[in-house]
Structures are given as structure tokens and as C-alpha cells.
Structure 1
């Protein structure tokens, strides 16, 4: 499978089928850590925990222990799904009056909020929310884990001790945020060289260029030895809170002590004979459900997605975003930097599945590093509207409205776990991927190589330029269309990762343009 990016180059990713478990992640090294856990006898939950911590080391600007997110879990032996929410919250001592609005202008980060003086809701310690990821992983392990907690963190600890390899893609990500990182001395010390992005490992150099992650390694070791709640009740909590407060933020040790990730029933719905489970509450799960409700009332193309299908995607997503912005809290139109998020999906040989999204929100989060813990900190406060009197207005001790949309699907003997990173682009991507399987019986390779559009509540449709002319013409009859390529950087569309189980065989795939993304089988082969 391939799609033309120019007259001379084609890009595709190979998808294999295997009876073994598979981990599909935005970074191959993290996927390998999860696959090794599967090979050692762990199940999908064990592999997800190992992948979660490992990926926070190898792409720290996307996620990490100081972030949050959400998860969908399928237990094959029970025949049911679980939802786990470990989203971020605003600190209890946060004072909205300390985030005064500028008289004019819009933020140039993820959301076009009215700007706050000094970008206090976007950059720096004042943008840090209460992180939830570690507590979420701890609760998942306590309920479903089969391998000792410390063993699951050992790959991440080893990676942190080795240091972060600065290849061309790492250098590109760091370069994109150099000015912002330079504002925090500890972030600059970790990621920059003399205020500039680090030198890239040479083409023929014998020694790799690596960043010192030893402080993070020590913190991860403490989590491994003392358990997940060390992040919330132990010395780590005290150090993290002190570092944030020393830099002007309001996060306290009491905020961390009171944090509690929670399991719930999923939001489940049927669509054309396919059963879906998504996260309920302040996530993009309800948005996906509403989009597919509109799509279900439309006649689609017979065998492959065409003008009718993409038209239905547009109408469904437009309607769903109108509801989201009016009732769940306005979360703005994504522009500028893309979301600092990662997604991975896992399936084990017994059919258990995990679809997991975790995020710092912006790329490099708040662009602040906690010197005592080595953790890059989130900027979850930016999820709130700084204007008061709205559903999602900034307030103390309040859950954040998240864009995450991990999904599980079941159609006949086919079960799949999809999700994506990419801010507000996530739900557009996941909805279309779900339709490609539900409506057109695509396998995983066809699903991930099929061109997509992005409809995220704005005035335009962003469309893959390889879509047929009749599809583009039909879209232009609805609203303005901007065509673009699927590129390595920046991503015009979300960056998905997914696994599928069909006829007892497992497969996995990631965004075809992701240079680090890969799906790894537990027998150590690429999937």
C-alpha cells in the first residue's frame, strides 16, 4: 500500500499478521519495550505500562510522568471494556485573577484563546496542572497487572540512564521550541547547547549524541521501588511541588496527594453493526459518538470511501464540534504548534487490548523542567478558557476538557484499538479510521494508508491532496477546502496508532509519515 507524495517518492508502512501480541507506538523503542514484556509472559496491560514510561523518556516533549490523558481497556476473558481517566486538574490554589487578559490579540499556541498577560496559562510554571499519568498506571497495574511494577519500569529507567539520542528528528523537535525552552534555565540545561538546539549525531560519527536524563532516571527508579503513589504522597511529590512553586506556579503537594485517577464504564454505542467503546465525560469520546450518529443517517459509497463518505464525515464532525464547543466548553481552533501528545495501542495473544493516549498538551508542555525530578512539566492550564463565565472557564480544582479519543471497536470476528495524537485533529482521524473498518471492511494496512480529511470545527476542511477530484469537488460544495500532503513535519493531520485482531491473528500500524512510529510483535519482528 502506498500513496504518492510526489512524482518520484512513495511512502508506506508494512503491516504483518501474527499470532503473537503487538504494540503499535509513535516510537519504535517504546514499542520494543512493550513487546518484550509480552514476550516475557505479560499481558496487554503490562505491556502498556512499560510502553507508557518508556515513551515518556524517548519522546519527552510528547508525554511523560508529569502529564495526563485517558485509556480504553478490553478484557477478553470478561468480554467487556473498561475506561480509565487520568486527566489533569487545575491546582486548588489557582486564582483566575492572576491570569489577566490582554486587551486584544489571540494566543498563537494550540487554541486561539484571548491572550493572557505574559502567556501565564501557556508558558512557565503558572501553566502547570496536576498530573495524572502515574496514578493512572498505578491503578491499572493494581487491578490488572501480572508482572511486578518495578520490572515494568525497568526499560524506561535503562533508557533514561543511556540518555536521549539526538537524531535528526529529535533535533528538529527541539529546534521548533528553542526560544521557549531557553526561558527556563532547567529546560535549557537539559535540551539546549549554549541556548541553541543540540548538535545532531553525525552521519558517520562513532559516538551517539545524547542528552543527560540521569535525574529522570533517579526519579523513575524511586517510582519503581516505592510504587506509583510516590509521585503523589512521597518525596517526589514534595520535590515536584516545591520546584513548581519556586518558579511561580500554584501546584502543591496537597494537590498531588488528593489526585485520584478513576475507572468507569465506557461510553458504548452501535454504528452500522459495529460496537464502539470510548471514554465518557470531558473527552472527545462523546464528540465521536455524535459524529457517527450523523454519519449513520447518510447513505455511503458501496465499496470504497468516496464523495458520499467524505461528505458524511464533514457533516458529522461539524455537527459534533458545534455541540462540543457549545456544551462541553469551547476549546478553540487548533493552529500554530501541534499537541504534545502520544498514542499507542496494544493487543496480546489472548486478545486483551489497550488503547492509550497520554499528553503534556503543548509540545514540551509548559517548557519548564523540574530540576529535582528531571520531569518536563505539562501546561494543562491552557486547556481552560481564560475568559470567565463560559463552560470551560479557568477555575481552581477543576478537571481539564481533553481532546483524547482512544477507541475500541468490534465487528464480527474483528476487534480493533485505535487512537491518535494531534490536539483537535484527533477525533477527525479516529472517526474516519473507525468508518474505514466499519463501513468498508478495510484491513489495518488499507485503513492507515487511506487519505483523510480534517474537520475540527473551523471554517475550512483540510484534505489530503491525493483524494480524487470528485471527492474534493464535493467537499468544496460544503465549505472552503485546503489541500495538503501528508508530511513528516509538521503533521497536517493527526498521528494515529492502532492494532487489530481478526481470525485469531494480530496486526498493528502507525501513521505512515511518522519516522519513529512502528508496530512491534512480541517475537521481536516489525508488525
Structure 2
């Protein structure tokens, strides 16, 4: 039965068409920063750099300079896709013996791994992996950017100097992790008020409450002035590594100096009359390709048939992912709560960038010298030894990220999503919505979805028709739920689309901050 709320209220986001560029991000002000770069002559890569750093300031629990991820680029002038893998790595000095299994069964966080004593692979300094996003952005900018690097970081520095506004949504997110944040003195000082979640102003109050992000602003200014490698080769990175080691973690100066993101050929695949470009290696790109390859063999004639096909294909793809993928360490040259944004400029260049700290608030540890909230990338590893993705030193993390560039006829799109294990389900369905059913971006983002993430159940949006739900229940255990602001039962996508010379953009309809910003006139969609 549908909830009374879903029967009485519909949520929609407006999609505006433009000949200029579009930036779609999970935070409106980050999208606006990218759009402003386009207005002053920057290209899609320039806009992506600005958007990435701003969203790391304004949505700090999802991503930031101490995180990692992956990017897909489309070069309109060359007619080719380029992948940038800036995923995290485990530190070289990590000791597997420090992550003993508790014998309590499965852990309760994002992955079906065995529980580790004290959750040290999930929270705290030992959960911190080597970050990669800044080097990835730096490499993309060095090869394809147009504007000066320092100019692109200026908006993020300005936002950090002002401090992130603690509105009702920010307070809700912080409240959801208060106990964990309180365990780290520096995280508590940044996000909490006397050990409690922050209060917000009353309905009629004019006073604003903001986080004190001045230390982060100072660090971003160093990266702006000295370049992206300042976080890896300079005093800033050394200070961050020292902070982590002082709190019991393994991150070292040597880890940072050795880190390099990988610019590589994409994993490209044909699907019926469409083509998709993905980041290969230890991402969700191969899992997406597995699911789409399976879909191509299934009956997709009607919507009920299609959703039954999605469930079957995704179950198979996730079983292969969790059972076979991982960095075994045999080949050092092998290709390797999250946010996503997409960019298209007026020339048709595109960016699809997913970046993450992994869990919400990452390791729940703040580096006091840099002001950066640190990742918990170690949780990406299976703590049981002898498996493809087993925990070990100096290994690439198996990421869930799945930025996609798709092509079909005169349409091209750059989609991606946040949501951990929900990302592949989201991207598979939205790619199919566009290519199998001819949906434009507005229809694709508003259409109800399912989630199949390797567990025993199919989670279905209660807005589905009875016919779709009946087809799913014929072969699967199904639970229905509404699309809500918090928590998200499904992935949280953002994307742009280009048809001919017209660009559009949209974000997850339930995201209270998500929006698309247009190059023309500073209008938001």
C-alpha cells in the first residue's frame, strides 16, 4: 500500500534546455560555481575542477580532498572518451593483523564483509586509505583544462572562509552520525556543538549558523598556489600524514608521494544501437557492463518485462562483482556516501565525476593540520584473507563508483550517482531508460526504479504500477518503499544530456540541495 504522503504529494524537478553549458551537482552552489567557470570561458574540465572542490566544502560528509573516485571525460573535438581513475589505495605499512575478525558475523555497514573487532576498518585512523581525487583532477586539468588552476579553486576557498551553512538538512545529516563524530576530538570540534548535533535557527530567526572551515580554506589555498601535488609531495601532505599516524593510522608521506591517478582508455561497450564508456578496473564499470550485457539478451518489450530483466541481470552482475573482483597485487600495472556531478559545455565536452569518502563522514576523523575530513577507504576491502579483494598493504580499493558516458544517435549523456552499492542498479536502469525506452533526461530522472545490490531482496519504489510489482514478485522477494529525502532507498543520480546542440541537466528529485546550473544568465534548473 502506498503511504499517505506519497498519495498526496508529488516531487518534481524542472529541466531547462539551453545552448550553453550545464552543471548538475548534488549541491546547488557547487553547480553554480561550475557554471560560472563556463561563463568566463572555461571548458567542462575547468568547471569540473571548480565544482569538485566546492562540493567538498559544502557537502563535506560525502567527498573532499582526502577522498577518491573516478571520472569519465568526453572530448567532443576528438570524438573520444577518456577515463581517470583516482581511486584510493591502502597504505604500504598497513598490518593485516590489526584487523582481526570478531566472529560476530556480517558487519552492518555498506558491504557484506565479516565484522572486524572494534570496526577499525570502518571508523578511526586505521580505516584511512591514500586519497586520490586531487591528483586525478590535477592530471585532467593539466591535459585538458583551459583556465589557471588557482582560479578554479578560488570559489571553494571563498566558501570555506565563509563556512558551510548549517540548515535543516545539514543538521539532519550531522545528527545521523553524532555518536561516531564525537569519538574524534577534531571531528567533534568541526561538526558538533558541545558533543551534540548542531541546532539550527528557528523559523523566523535571521542569524545563520556555519561550520568553522578556516583551516580547510588555508589548506585549499596552498593547493591553489602550489598545485595539486602539494597534497602529495609538500608540507601539507606531510602534515596530514602525521595527523593520521598520531591517531593510530598508517598513511605516510611515502604513500602520498608514490600516489598517481591513472588516465587510461575507457571500458567501452556496444549495447543494441547505443554505446557506453566506463572506467575500467576496480570500479563498478565492469559490473555495469556485465549487467547491460545480460540485459541485451532479455525481453525488454514492456515496462514489467524490463524491470524483471533489471532484477535478474543485476543479481548476476553483483554476484560476479563480490566473488571475483579485487586487487590481488599480482600486477602492479593493473587498472585499478559519495557525491556525483556531471558537466557539459557549449562545445559538447562532457564530464561525469563520482567522488567519495566512502561512508558518510568517511572515517569520522578530521586531520587538524589540514581541516580535511578523512576517508575510510579500507572498508572497501574484504577483511577475510585469500579472496580477490582481501585486505592487504599497497592495494587498490574496489570502488562502487560508476560514472557513465552514453551515446545513441544524436544524443549523448553523462550520468552517475552516489549511494554505495545502489549505484550500479541506478546507472543500469537509467542507461536503459534512455537507450531502450527513448526517455529524455526529465523522464529518466523522475521514473521509479528498483534496487538490487547483491542482497536477497528487491527494493521497489512504491510508485511502480501493480503490473511491474507483480512481475517482480513472480521471481523475487520484493519490498516496496517511497522515495524520500532521508534515507535514500535508491541511488542519488546527477546527469547532463546533449541532443544536437541543446543541453539539459537534472539531479535526483528528492535531493533538497541538488540542482542543475546553466551557463546562460546564471539560471538554475
- TM-score, normalised to structure 2's length? 0.96
How much has 1:479 moved relative to structure 2? 1.1
How much has 1:457 moved relative to structure 2? 1.3
Paired with 1:85 and 1:5, the residues of 2 have a C-alpha distance of 41
Paired with 2:6 and 2:151, the residues of 1 have a C-alpha distance of 46
- Selected match of 1:372 from 369, 389, 393: 369
Paired with 2:101 and 2:270, the residues of 1 have a C-alpha distance of 44
The answer for the alignment partner of 2:183 in structure 1 is 183
How much has 1:478 moved relative to structure 2? 1.2
Paired with 1:329 and 1:454, the residues of 2 have a C-alpha distance of 23
The answer for the alignment partner of 1:525 in structure 2 is 523
The answer for the alignment partner of 1:502 in structure 2 is 499
Paired with 2:252 and 2:326, the residues of 1 have a C-alpha distance of 26
The answer for the alignment partner of 1:199 in structure 2 is 199
SS of aligned partner of 1:431: helix
How much has 1:105 moved relative to structure 2? 3.1
Per-residue deviation, residues 17-45 of structure 1 (Å, max 9, x unmatched):
00010000000000000000000110000
SS of aligned partner of 1:308: helix
- Selected match of 2:391 from 389, 394, 400: 394
- Alpha carbons 1:4, 1:466 under 8 Å: kept: no
The answer for the alignment partner of 1:336 in structure 2 is none
- Selected match of 1:358 from 355, 360, 365: 355
Paired with 2:190 and 2:491, the residues of 1 have a C-alpha distance of 28
Paired with 1:363 and 1:296, the residues of 2 have a C-alpha distance of 35
The answer for the alignment partner of 1:141 in structure 2 is 141
Per-residue deviation, residues 186-231 of structure 1 (Å, max 9, x unmatched):
0000000010001113322222111100000000000000000000
The answer for the alignment partner of 2:234 in structure 1 is 234
Paired with 1:170 and 1:370, the residues of 2 have a C-alpha distance of 21
Alignment of 1:105 with 2:108, yes or no, is: no
How much has 1:114 moved relative to structure 2? 1.5
How much has 1:458 moved relative to structure 2? 1.0
Please provide the CA RMSD for this pair: 1.2
User: For residues 122-521 of structure 1, what are the structure 2 equivalents within 5 Å?
Assistant: 122-301=122-301, 306-329=303-326, 340-521=337-518
The answer for the alignment partner of 2:334 in structure 1 is none
SS of aligned partner of 2:7: coil
Please identify, of 101-110 and 381-390, the stretch whose mean Cα deviation from structure 2 is larger.
Answer: 101-110
How much has 1:5 moved relative to structure 2? 5.2
- Alpha carbons 2:6, 2:482 under 8 Å: kept: no
Paired with 1:317 and 1:212, the residues of 2 have a C-alpha distance of 43
The answer for the alignment partner of 1:50 in structure 2 is 50
Paired with 1:315 and 1:372, the residues of 2 have a C-alpha distance of 48
Per-residue deviation, residues 31-70 of structure 1 (Å, max 9, x unmatched):
0000000001100000000000000000000000000000
The answer for the alignment partner of 2:86 in structure 1 is 86
SS of aligned partner of 2:489: coil
SS of aligned partner of 1:322: helix
Per-residue deviation, residues 221-278 of structure 1 (Å, max 9, x unmatched):
0000000000000011110000000000010000000000011100001111001001
Paired with 1:395 and 1:48, the residues of 2 have a C-alpha distance of 33
Paired with 2:141 and 2:255, the residues of 1 have a C-alpha distance of 22
Paired with 1:88 and 1:5, the residues of 2 have a C-alpha distance of 41
SS of aligned partner of 1:349: coil
How much has 1:115 moved relative to structure 2? 1.5
SS of aligned partner of 2:479: strand
Per-residue deviation, residues 107-164 of structure 1 (Å, max 9, x unmatched):
2221232111111101100100000001011101100110000000000000000011
- Alpha carbons 1:367, 1:376 under 8 Å: kept: yes
- Alpha carbons 1:71, 1:355 under 8 Å: kept: yes
SS of aligned partner of 2:102: strand
The answer for the alignment partner of 1:76 in structure 2 is 76
- Alpha carbons 1:74, 1:354 under 8 Å: kept: yes
Count of matched residue positions in the alignment of Structure 1 and Structure 2:
513
Per-residue deviation, residues 71-130 of structure 1 (Å, max 9, x unmatched):
000000000000000000000000101111112232222123211111110110010000
Please identify, of 123-132 and 197-206, the stretch whose mean Cα deviation from structure 2 is larger.
Answer: 197-206
User: For residues 9-24 of structure 1, what are the structure 2 equivalents within 5 Å?
Assistant: 9-24=9-24
The answer for the alignment partner of 2:40 in structure 1 is 40
The 4+ residue runs of structure 1 with deviation greater than 4 A are: none
**What are the ranges of 5 or more consecutive residues in structure 2 without an aligned counterpart?**
328-336
Per-residue deviation, residues 170-193 of structure 1 (Å, max 9, x unmatched):
000000000000000000000000
- TM-score, normalised to structure 1's length? 0.96
How much has 1:299 moved relative to structure 2? 2.4
SS of aligned partner of 1:410: strand
- Alpha carbons 1:5, 1:11 under 8 Å: kept: no
Per-residue deviation, residues 463-505 of structure 1 (Å, max 9, x unmatched):
0101111110110111100000000000000000000001210
Paired with 2:283 and 2:8, the residues of 1 have a C-alpha distance of 41
Paired with 2:204 and 2:162, the residues of 1 have a C-alpha distance of 20
